[in-house]
Amino acid sequence: MKKEVNILYVDDELLNLELFALVFKKKFNVITADSGLEGLKKLEENNEISVVISDMRMPGMNGVEFISSAKKKFNNIVYFILTGYEITEEIAGALNKRLIN
């Protein structure tokens, strides 16, 4: 079976990156990045990424900041954000602006 969907998963927790890749690699091409900056680099390197999933809480650049920056250049990608915490005003604003799904 050909894997046609390329997913970029961005999270600063290495265990989460490993688990995500392990679970989803059978059906999708999984690319991982451990920071928003690395995520932007991966997007530059791979123009076939169609889905981005990002953790919200990361040092340096949080998930909304990463997605805001990425979407300026890669607006044809579907973006999702994950958080283990309550929905913040920042996340709610990004949802209202349709920045994330």
Are 85 and 70 in contact, with CB atoms under 8 Å apart? Answer: no
pLDDT at 82: 85
pLDDT one-digit tens code per residue, 76-97: 999 998 876 666 676 666 666 6
Q: At what angle do helices 63-73 and 89-96 cross, to 10 degrees?
A: 20
The pLDDT score that the predictor gives to residue 85 is 61
Q: Looking up tokens 């209202």, which residue turns up?
A: 96
Q: pLDDT band for 35, please (50, 70, 90 cuts).
A: very high
User: For residue 60, what is the DSSP state?
Assistant: S
What's the whole-number average pLDDT of the chain?
88
Domains and CATH numbers, the chain: 6-96 (3.40.50.2300)
Is the Cβ–Cβ distance between 58 and 66 less than 8 Å? yes
pLDDT of residue 83: 76
